[in-house]
Amino acid sequence: MAIPANAAVSLNFPVINMEKLETGERGAAMEVIHDACKNWGFFELLNHGISHKLMDEVERVSKAHYAACREDKFKEFAARTLEAGEKGADVKDVDWESTFFVRHLPASNLADLPDLDHHYRQVMKEFASEIEKLAEKVLDLLCENLGLEQGYLKRAFAGSRGPTFGTKVSSYPPCPRPDMVDGLRAHTDAGGVILLFQDDQVSGLQLLKDGAWVDVPPMRHAIVVNIGDQLEVITNGRYKSVMHRVLTRPDGNRMSIASFYNPGADAIIFPAPALVGAADAAERNEGEEGTAVYPRFVFEDYMNLYVRYKFEAKEPRFKAMKADAAPIATA
């Protein structure tokens, strides 16, 4: 695990060895996942089934692609941003990242993206297939912990065409003025479950826990999982999305490959009835009625709001969806 000497990493950061799920230690591993979803919003998976050889090749071709196709363009952006900042302009609303997005579901755009050679496309297609399977396995682990029937979360995401699923490929190059600009501003993720393959040599990802920023430790061949806003709604707040950010660093180019397994655009999102009624009695005070504390809405409507207020607190977004809610047909 490569962690800078001055990093304030919590020694209790939740890490799950998925091999333990097939042993007598399954119960303890499941409890770590449950606690992580409730109290951290993040956890890391080891021995998750994606081959190290494939992950190494994804890293190699992604870093090579940045160097060959994106680095010069980023240097132009960096020069303009630093010049503006030095002249007194506020550049805090700028993210110090080079990024592109690959859509996998409901229809892939991989063949349409420029500057990707055939090998890169094939590697990303194989990696996406493995990440999709892992995302669905994680969702079923969450169902088990929540007492939901297997497949409930996958079905809740389905809509009429199945889930939306895509990958954001990012580089966070070195920044000579890390005090001036963040790599990525603080936000929660709008969607369902996010699986991240991050650089194990260059840190920078942090989450907000109990009012303090905590490093997400880089670990070789790990997959970082975090909870999105939609899972918070469906679990009626049992599991929480949390604010996170990426810091800039004066050295090192951090690789980030984040895959988003999200509801379909027309999926109707609402708290699972089993987590609103009698099933939540253990977490209520005596005599308190179970209530849905989140509104019912169409995922695309939430996304239309999110794109305008991504870097603000999530609670006003939930309130706005409740205030704007119109009756939604469920038939």
| DSSP label at residue 183 | S
106 cis-preceded (ω within 30 degrees of 0): yes
* Mean pLDDT of the region 275-302: 71
If DSSP codes are grouped into helix, strand and coil, which group holds residue 157?
Answer: helix
Domain count, the chain: 1
CATH of the domain at 212: 2.60.120.330
Dmax (CA) for the chain in angstroms is 64
Q: What is the pLDDT of residues 233-286, one digit of tens each?
A: 999 999 999 999 999 999 999 999 999 999 999 999 999 999 997 444 445 443
Whole-model pTM: value is 0.90
pLDDT at 105 over 90: yes
Please check whether residue 283 lies inside any domain of the structure.
no
Please check whether residue 45 lies inside any domain of the structure.
yes
State the pLDDT at residue 300: 97
- Alpha-carbon distance of 261 to 259, in angstroms, equals 7
Output the average pLDDT for the chain.
Answer: 90
Please check whether residue 46 lies inside any domain of the structure.
yes
Q: For residue 325, which phi and psi values (nearest 5 degrees)?
A: -65, 130
Tell me the residue range of the domain where 190 lies. Answer: 41-272
Q: What is the pLDDT of residues 114-137, one digit of tens each?
A: 899 999 999 999 999 999 999 999
pLDDT at 287 over 60: no
- Alpha-carbon distance of 232 to 99, in angstroms, equals 27
Residues in the chain: 331
Q: What percent of the chain has pLDDT over 90?
A: 85
Q: What is the pLDDT of residues 19-50, one digit of tens each?
A: 999 999 999 999 999 999 999 999 999 999 99
Please check whether residue 153 lies inside any domain of the structure.
yes
Please check whether residue 133 lies inside any domain of the structure.
yes
Where does the pLDDT of residue 325 fall: very low under 50, low under 70, confident under 90, or very high at 90 and above?
low
